[in-house]
Structure 1
Amino acid sequence: MFSHLSVGSNDIARSKAFYDALFTACGGNPAFVDAKGRLVYVHKEAIFLVTRPIDGEAATHANGGTIGLAMDSPEQADAWHAAGVAAGGTAIEDPPGWRDSSNGRLYLAYLRDPDGNKLCALYREVK
């Protein structure tokens, strides 16, 4: 359903250090920088972009918004979370772990990036 996701940043170099650590911890590659100065991450046919806002205003995070990223295992979610905290992210919500939902058990880990964007690593229990 989604072709790409994008978040704003006020410091692209800081964001590159953070997201490179985050995505390489779960099997992705570091970003390439496109002609417009945006960070572009491509993994498993998905695209994630980090950009300065086009309108020239300061980047802000979406209150109530969360970007969920699929993980291959709980261990991968833990590695993602640890890499994010080590690279300047902030652990939020409950600690990484299993949650029961109406759609089965989920392993979740939450972070805010250095610009305040809310991210979630999610692994769905396979039955």
Structure 2
Amino acid sequence: MFSHMMVGTNDMARSKAFYDALFAAMGGRPGKEDPLGRVVYMHGGAIFLISKPLDGQTATAGNGSTIGFNVASPDEADAWHKAGTAHGGTAIEDPPGERNGPAGRLYLAYLRDPDGNKLCALHRLG
């Protein structure tokens, strides 16, 4: 359904270090800068970008927004969460772990990136 996702940042170097660590924890590669100065990540058939806002205004996090990343296992979700907190992210909500709800059994880990964007690593259990 989605072609790509992009978040704004006020500090490209800080955000690149953060997202490089998250993608490495999921088996991905470091992002590459495009001609417009955005950093592009391609992994698992998806595209994710970080960019300074093209309108020149300050980047802000979307209140009520969450960007979810599929991960291969609970261990990968834990590694993702650990990499994020070690590279400037903030742990939020409950600690990583299993949740049961209308979507079934899920293993979830939540972070805010250095610019305040809410992120989730999700693995569907049995």
Give the Cα separation in 1 of the matches to 2:42 and 2:33: 12
Give the Cα separation in 2 of the matches to 1:5 and 1:86: 23
| Deviation of 1:102 (Å) | 1.1
Q: Which amino acid aligns with 1:17?
A: A
Number of residues of Structure 1 aligned to a counterpart in Structure 2: 126
Give the Cα separation in 2 of the matches to 1:121 and 1:44: 14
User: Normalising by the residue count of structure 2, what TM-score does the alignment of the two structures yield?
Assistant: 0.98
| Structure 2 gap segments, 5+ residues each | none
Give the Cα separation in 2 of the matches to 1:103 and 1:41: 27
Aligned counterpart, 1:72: 72
Aligned counterpart, 1:41: 41
| Structure 1 gap segments, 5+ residues each | none
SS at structure 2 position matched to 1:120:
strand
Give the Cα separation in 2 of the matches to 1:11 and 1:19: 12
| Deviation of 1:115 (Å) | 0.3
SS at structure 2 position matched to 1:79:
helix
| Deviation of 1:45 (Å) | 1.3
Give the Cα separation in 2 of the matches to 1:10 and 1:3: 24
SS at structure 2 position matched to 1:49:
strand
Give the Cα separation in 1 of the matches to 2:97 and 2:44: 24
Q: Which amino acid aligns with 1:60?
A: T
